[in-house]
Structures are given as C-alpha cells and as structure tokens.
A = this chain, B = another copy of it.
Amino acid sequence: METPDDVICDASAPCHAFIPGMSSAVPPTTPKSGKKKKAAGATVSGIDVAKDVDFARWYQQVLLKGEMIDYYDVSGCYILRPGSWEIWEILQDWFNSRIKLMGVRNCIFPLFVTEDLLNKEQNHVEGFSAEVAWVTQSGNTKLEKKIAIRPTSETIIYPYLASWIKSWRALPLRLNQWNSVVRWEFKNPQPFLRSREFYWQEGHTSHLTSQSADQEVLQILDLYSFLYRELLAIPTVPGRKTEKEKFAGADYTTTVEAYIPATGRAIQGATSHGLGKNFSKMFDIAVEAPWQDGSEERTLKTFVWQNSWAYSTRVLGVMVMVHGDDKGLVIPPRVAPTQVILVPVGITAGTPEDVKQGVLQCIDDIQKALQNDGIRTETDVREEYSPGWKFNHWELKGVPLRLEIGPKELETGLSSFARRDSGGKGSIPTPSVAAGVAELLKDIQSDMYARALAKFRDNLKIITKWADFAPAVNHKNLCLIPFCLQEDCEDKIKKLSEGTADSSTEYDARAPSMGAKSLCIPFKQPSELKDTNTPCLRDGCNRMAEKWCMFGRSY
C-alpha cells in the first residue's frame, strides 16, 4: 500500500499534464487509534461539538453559528447569508475575469423549460427526470401544459444555438450563465453539498472541431483546479470520470476531486464535459464546414462539438469541511470577505482618555493603510463587548488574521497579530503594517494549502492487493487501483466494499457502510498500465487493468 506523489494537482502546471513513472514509496498508514477524542462541550465560542467527534453536527453548527447559512422553511433549501454569499461573489469575480479572457460571454436563459424540450435528449433527461420540479398552476389557474424548472440548461439553450450559429465563423461560441438550478432530491440534504436549489455557473460552448472543444474542456478544468488550489487552498485530483459516472448525455466528463480528511470521503469538486455531437445532432446545430469533401468537392454540413462545464456553491461546503476547526470557520485569505479584523485591547476603566483615543486613532490609521493596499479590513471597536468575546466572535467567522492594538502596541510601535489558521501569534512593526499583513496573509494561504495537501497525500493510497482495498477505504483513504474500467466491475467493487466498516473504524454516522465508488481516472497516472498485463484489482475480475482509477467513499 503506497502513497502516490503526482496524482494530486498541486503545481500550477496544467492539471492534465501526463506524468509517467511510478511514484516513490511512502510508509504505510497506521490507524489513528491513539487519538484522544475531545468531549463534546469542550470547544469554545459557540461550537459545542468537536469536528472529529460528530462531524455532521459540527458542520451544521459551524455554518449556522458562523452565519454562513440558515435553514429554510422548504426542506432541502438553504439561505445563503452574506457570510457565504460574499465569498461566492469573490469566486464569481475571479472566474469571470478568467473566462472573459477566453472569449466566454455571460448571458441568462429562463428558469423554465417545456416538457418537450426537456425530453429531447433521452440519455440526458433520464439523468434528471426523477428530480425535476414542475409548475402546473398559476394563481388559481391550471396550466395547459406543465412546465419544468431547469435542472440544468442544455435543453434550454441548445435549440437557440441552432439559430444563432449560421456559419463556422461564429465558432467557437462560448456562453456562460450564473444562476440557480433545482433538483428535487430526496436523499439527505446537506448545505452546499446537496440542496434542492443550488447556485452555479454553467458554461455552454460550441466548436467547429473536436480539438478546439477538447482543449477547452481541459482549460476550464485547469481553472477549476486553480480555483480550488489557489483561492480555496484545497488540493484536487483532476481526471476523467468512468463511463458509469459521466454526465448524462456527455461523451466524457472531466472532474477535479477533493478530499475531506475528517470523513475520509472524496467529493466531486467541479466538472467539465465534452458533449461531443450528442446534443448538436438532436438540436440540429450545424454549419457548412470550411473544408471540402476531398473526392467530390461538396461543402459538408457538420454538427458542432459542444462542451458544458460548471462549478457550484458546493465549493463553499468543501472549503468549510477541509479548513474549519473546533473554533469555527477558517476562511482562506484570498476569498475572505474580511481578511483582517482590528480589535482594541488593554483598555480598562483606568486607562487615561488620551491613551484610549490614541489606540482608536491608531486602529483607524491601520485600517486606512490596509484598505489602501486593497486588504479587506474591518474594525470592532464596540465598547459593549470584551476583547475576549470579540476574539471568539471573529474566530468563529473564520477571519484569517486578527490585529490587536492597545497601549502596549502604541508604546512599542508594534502591532500584535493572531493567525486564525494556526493560532500563531507575533507582532509586526506598525509603520509597515500593510506590507507585514500582506506577507502574513500570503503565508496563511500557503500554509493552509500545505496542510490540506499533506492530509490528502497521507490518505491517497496505491492498492495492489484486493485484500487491502476495504481496510484502506475504512481508514479514510482514497485508493488508486488497477482497474478494467468496466461498469459491472465498478458495481461489484461498490457492493463488496459496502458494510465493511467495523465499529473501530466507524466515523460517519450518515454513511457508515457506504460502498466505494470510482471517483476518476487521474490524468497523472502512477504508471502506464496498458499492455502490461496487470490484472484488474478486483477478486474475480478476469480482465486486464486499463488504467489506475481512484476509488473511495464519496459525497
């Protein structure tokens, strides 16, 4: 059982760069049995359950008390409060700036779709039909035909592309929209991860050639990988979904898969699909090709190649699950709506008024200096709350850096700081506070990533014996296995790994014995398997392995 090196995309190199050669060996995992569990209630500032004691309850509390969400009257729907929505806006701005450089243009299509259109691409609709919400009535009037609320927009957008794309010169046509979609699921809803309405961007693009389309699928996947790595400080494994797990109606699906250490489960981070000509043939999106049929010199009608790609507010849930701790949220600096909180300290009833005013003036000056450098800064000078209360309050909300200014700081000319991620404390010279803070925020960002990466690396195993598979999964690992890529084998692996967790490895009350499923075929393979006569890992499978495939329990 080894840990591979290069499968996780942690460099800024394109995530699909194929890295040949086997990874270096890494010591086997030892079960983390010696870990002492904190008692419930030992945590401070409102979170009354430890992350490693009851993860599901911890997640709920941290979101509610950190003011990211609130529960809502319609089950499976959540209110995204400013604490989460402002992070989403930062991600939107960044993503918009990047896709606009690629020539993607934003637009918006209606929320509604007719039954006829929704049903047009059969494979596609089968992926959604059980979850579609239907409007059948307006006011007191029954509608003549029921109308669906979009579960995704392929069949909403594509009929119009047929009329807009009249010539190959209009290609590539790259559209994107930010909206919400509705999938009326009945499984356990969970904020950000599985909700009946969720927010996302959906890109829909059309290309003259498969090369152009394929290239874009990966360009976008690189953006998703970048978003996780550089903005959310989360490592992912980029790869391709198996046939079983691909998007309904797509030729192929690429994905970035993240890892939640606390539960040992993987989570699909974002997907970029090559739709091939499946939809363009259905919706007759075609142009006269600029090339000719060699033998007869006819112009050829050619259907366009299409892609669709999306990331959703799920990213916020992943961020919380990976970085949050027993004190509450921990927001990576690059996406934190408030990066620095300034708190006055050391002021008592006996503090002379001029010293108090000096402290407040200093806080004001620092805020201005930081804001001038583009650092998102807030102050908390409320007199009715103690410094200690404020520390807990802003820690709960995950603000990356706290600066404390008091009489001592005035005297020494140093500003005291406390890092949210590590709890690390120190001081920086007040005259150059902006530069010092910028440096600290950078450190926090990269340290957060490094910690998440280390945990992912520790729990990503190369498995070459079937007997090792279930135990590895049960110890919160994701597993790379030699795999035949066949759907029936995938089903069997899932079945065989169900219910294998015993009480000593029971860590997630909601999914104690869930089977492991295929997460992706990583672009960076530990080694080349094709034609090496390596058998598929599963006992009883007689086929040869085609690829290393990443398996694990998954959200």
- In contact, B108 and A80 (Cβ under 8 angstroms): yes
Bound CA–CA A107/B316 (angstroms): 14
- In contact, A197 and B73 (Cβ under 8 angstroms): no
Instruction: Give 4 closest A-B pairs by Cβ, nearest first.
Output: A138-B184, A82-B105, A77-B110, A134-B137
- In contact, B134 and A106 (Cβ under 8 angstroms): no
Bound CA–CA A129/B139 (angstroms): 6
Q: Which residues of B contact A114 (CB under 8 A)?
A: 73-74
- In contact, B184 and A77 (Cβ under 8 angstroms): no
Further 14 A-B residue pairs, CB within 8 A, beyond A74-B113, A135-B136: A72-B110, A73-B113, A73-B117, A74-B114, A77-B110, A80-B107, A82-B106, A85-B106, A86-B105, A108-B199, A111-B180, A134-B135, A169-B382, A169-B384
- In contact, B175 and A82 (Cβ under 8 angstroms): yes
Most central of A70, A112, A117 by chain B CB within 10 Å: A112
CB distance from A87 to the nearest CB of B (A): 11
Contact of A79 among B113, B137, B160 (CB under 8 A): B160
Q: Is A147 an interface residue, CB under 8 A from the partner?
A: yes
Q: Which residues of A (120-157) have their CB < 8 Å from a CB of B?
A: 129-140, 146-147, 149
Bound CA–CA A108/B85 (angstroms): 7
- In contact, B149 and A135 (Cβ under 8 angstroms): yes
Q: Is A442 an interface residue, CB under 8 A from the partner?
A: no
CB distance from A82 to the nearest CB of B (A): 4
Contact of A74 among B70, B73, B112 (CB under 8 A): B112
Q: Is A8 an interface residue, CB under 8 A from the partner?
A: no
Q: Which residues of A (374-412) have their CB < 8 Å from a CB of B?
A: 382, 384
Q: Is A159 an interface residue, CB under 8 A from the partner?
A: yes
Q: What are 9 A-B pairs with beta-carbon distances under 8 A?
A: A70-B164, A74-B112, A79-B160, A85-B106, A112-B197, A130-B139, A134-B138, A169-B382, A179-B180
Q: Is A81 an interface residue, CB under 8 A from the partner?
A: yes
Q: Is A94 an interface residue, CB under 8 A from the partner?
A: no
CB distance from A383 to the nearest CB of B (A): 11
CB distance from A172 to the nearest CB of B (A): 14
- In contact, A132 and B138 (Cβ under 8 angstroms): yes
Q: Which residues of A (95-119) have their CB < 8 Å from a CB of B?
A: 105-114, 117
The interface size bin for chain A is: 35 or more
Q: Is A78 an interface residue, CB under 8 A from the partner?
A: yes
Q: A82-B175, A107-B79 are in contact. Are A136 and B134 (CB under 8 A)?
A: yes
Bound CA–CA A110/B73 (angstroms): 10
- In contact, B147 and A137 (Cβ under 8 angstroms): no
- In contact, B131 and A79 (Cβ under 8 angstroms): no
Q: Is A89 an interface residue, CB under 8 A from the partner?
A: yes
Contact of A133 among B89, B117, B138, B164 (CB under 8 A): B138
CB distance from A268 to the nearest CB of B (A): 22
Q: Is A182 an interface residue, CB under 8 A from the partner?
A: yes
Q: Which residue of chain B has its CB nearest to the CB of A146?
A: B137
Q: Which residues of B contact A159 (CB under 8 A)?
A: 73
Most central of A111, A130, A160 by chain B CB within 10 Å: A111
- In contact, B138 and A131 (Cβ under 8 angstroms): yes
- In contact, B109 and A79 (Cβ under 8 angstroms): yes
- In contact, B139 and A79 (Cβ under 8 angstroms): no
Bound CA–CA A82/B81 (angstroms): 28
Most central of A79, A147, A175 by chain B CB within 10 Å: A79
Bound CA–CA A184/B141 (angstroms): 10
Q: A77-B112, A111-B197, A114-B73 are in contact. Are A133 and B129 (CB under 8 A)?
A: no
Q: Which residues of A (58-86) have their CB < 8 Å from a CB of B?
A: 70, 72-74, 77-82, 85-86
Contact of A107 among B85, B133, B137 (CB under 8 A): B85
Q: Which residues of B contact A197 (CB under 8 A)?
A: 110-112
- In contact, A110 and B78 (Cβ under 8 angstroms): yes
Q: Which residues of B contact A384 (CB under 8 A)?
A: 169
Q: A139-B131, A147-B74, A184-B138 are in contact. Are A106 and B89 (CB under 8 A)?
A: yes
CB distance from A91 to the nearest CB of B (A): 13
Bound CA–CA A117/B77 (angstroms): 15
CB distance from A76 to the nearest CB of B (A): 9
